[in-house]
C-alpha cells in the first residue's frame, strides 16, 4: 500500500475548500453577492471587505464564493458528457475492432486537426452563447481522449482469461462488456477525468471571459474577471481574487488527479 503523497493531500484540501464553497456559499459569504453598496464603490480590500468591492459596491469575496458552485458545475458537466460518450465509443470500438476501429482511427485523426477551443467556439457561435450550448459543444468535441483511453484498456482486457471464461459460459456481449470488462477498464479513464476537470475549469472560465459561456450577472469566475478587466490598473482586486480562485481550483484538480494516478499506479 503506497503512502498518500503530500501533493495528493494538498490537492484534496484545495478541492475540499472549493467543494465547501460550492455546497454552502450562504454560510461562508459575508454579504449577498448581488447586493449593491453605494457607500463602498470599488473599495480596496479591508477588514470589512477582505477582497474589496467592485464598481457597484458588490463584495468580491462573496461573489467569488458564490461562483464556486457554477464553476464546479461547468467543470463537472464538461467532464461527464465527454466521459460517457467517449467511454461508450471506446468500449464498443475496443470490443469489435476491425473496420469499426479503422473508421474510429480516421475520425480521431480528423477531430484532432481542429483546435479544441476553436471547434468549441465554432459550435457555440452557431448554437449561440450560454452554458447549455457550451456543454453540447464540449460533449461533441471532448470525447476523443476518453474513447482512446477506454479503447486501449479494452484491447488489453479482451485478451484476458475471465473474458474467455465469460464467453465459454455463453454470456451475452453486453453482460461481458458492462459487468466484466468495464469495471476493470475504467480506472485510467476515471483518473484522467479528475485531471480533465482542471482543464474544464480553465475552459469554462475562458468562455465566460470571452462572453460565450455563463452570462452576467451570473457570478462565474471568468465573468467576474471580465467584469473587472477595465478597472485592472486602478482596482486590480476586482479581477485578481476570482483568478486566484481559478488557479487554486485548477491546482486542486490536477494535484488530486496526478496523486490518484500515482496512488492507484495508473500509467499516464
Partner 1 sequence: MPRLGWLLGRLLQIVPTFLLIGIAVFVLARLLPGDAVSAMLGDRASDETINRLTAQLGLNRSLGAQLLAFLSAAVQGDFGASLSRHVPVLRLVAEALPVTLSLVAIATVLALAIALPLAFIAALNANRWPDIAIRAVFQVGLSSPVFYIGLILLTVFAGWLGWFPVGGYGETFGEHLYHLFLPGLTLSLSFAAVVMRNLRAAVLAVLTAEYVDFARAKGLARSVVLLRHVLRNALIATVTLVGLHVGALLGGAVITETVFAVPGVGRLMIDSIFARDYPVIQALTLVLAVLVSLAFLVTDFVQMWLDPRVGR
* 32 three-state secondary structure: coil
Q: From the CB of 147, what's the least distance to partner 1, in Å?
A: 17
Chain-centroid distance of CA 175 in Å reads: 30
Closer by beta carbon to partner 1, 169 or else 265: 265
CB 50 within 8 A of CB 104: no
Q: What angle do CA 90, 257, 191 make, to 5 degrees?
A: 25
Q: Give the CA count within 13 Å in the CB-facing half-sphere of 218.
A: 19
Residue nearer to partner 1 on the CB measure, 113 or 159: 113
C-alpha cell at 257: 488527479
Which residue, 36 or 231, has its beta carbon nearer to partner 1?
Answer: 231
- What's the min distance (Å) between Cβ of 225 and partner 1? 6
Tell me how far apart the alpha carbons of residues 220 and 224 are, in angstroms, rounded to a whole number. Answer: 6
* C-alpha dihedral sign at 11, 16, 18, 19: positive
Bridge partners of 59, per DSSP, are 53
Tell me whether residue 186 or residue 210 sits nearer to partner 1 (CB atom): 210
Q: Which residues on neighbouring strands pair with residue 53, listed in sequence order?
A: 59
Residue 266 Cβ vs partner 1, minimum distance, rounded to whole Å: 16
Q: Which is nearer to partner 1, 4 or 118 (CB)?
A: 118
Nearest-approach distance from CB 165 to partner 1, in angstroms: 38
Q: Which is nearer to partner 1, 247 or 264 (CB)?
A: 247
CB of 99 to partner 1, least distance (A): 17
Shortest distance, position 48 Cβ to partner 1, whole Å: 25
Nearest to 138 by CA among 234, 73, 217: 73
C-alpha torsion sign, points 218, 223, 224, 230: negative
Q: Which residues bind partner 1 (CB under 8 A)?
A: 106, 109-110, 112-119, 121-129, 198, 202, 205-206, 209-212, 222, 225, 229, 232-233, 236, 239-240, 243, 246-251, 254-255
Amino acid at each position: 500500500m503506497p503512502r498518500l503523497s503530500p501533493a495528493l493531500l494538498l490537492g484534496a484540501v484545495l478541492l475540499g475548500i472549493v467543494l465547501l464553497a460550492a455546497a454552502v456559499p450562504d454560510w461562508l459569504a459575508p454579504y449577498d453577492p448581488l447586493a449593491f453598496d453605494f457607500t463602498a464603490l470599488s473599495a480596496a480590500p479591508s477588514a470589512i471587505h477582505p477582497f474589496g468591492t467592485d464598481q457597484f459596491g458588490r463584495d468580491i469575496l462573496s461573489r467569488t464564493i458564490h461562483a464556486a458552485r457554477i464553476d464546479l458545475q461547468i467543470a463537472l458537466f464538461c467532464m461527464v458528457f465527454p466521459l460517457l460518450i467517449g467511454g461508450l465509443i471506446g468500449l464498443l470500438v475496443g470490443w469489435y475492432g476491425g473496420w469499426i476501429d479503422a473508421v474510429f482511427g480516421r475520425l480521431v485523426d480528423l477531430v484532432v486537426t481542429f483546435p479544441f477551443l476553436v471547434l468549441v467556439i465554432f459550435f457555440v457561435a452557431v448554437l449561440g452563447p450560454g452554458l447549455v450550448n457550451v456543454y453540447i459543444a464540449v460533449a461533441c468535441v471532448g470525447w476523443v481522449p476518453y474513447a482512446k483511453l477506454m479503447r486501449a484498456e479494452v484491447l488489453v482486457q479482451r485478451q484476458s482469461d475471465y473474458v474467455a471464461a465469460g464467453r465459454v459460459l455463453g454470456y451475452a456481449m453486453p453482460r461481458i462488456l458492462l459487468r466484466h470488462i468495464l469495471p476493470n477498464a475504467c480506472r485510467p479513464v476515471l483518473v484522467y477525468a479528475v485531471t480533465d476537470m482542471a482543464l474544464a475549469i480553465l475552459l469554462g472560465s475562458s468562455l465566460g471571459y470571452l462572453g460565450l459561456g455563463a452570462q452576467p450577472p451570473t457570478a462565474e469566475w471568468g465573468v467576474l474577471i471580465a467584469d473587472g478587466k477595465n478597472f485592472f490598473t486602478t482596482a486590480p482586486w476586482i479581477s485578481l481574487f476570482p483568478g486566484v480562485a481559478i488557479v487554486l481550483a485548477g491546482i486542486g484538480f490536477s494535484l488530486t488527479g496526478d496523486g490518484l494516478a500515482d496512488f492507484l499506479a495508473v500509467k499516464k
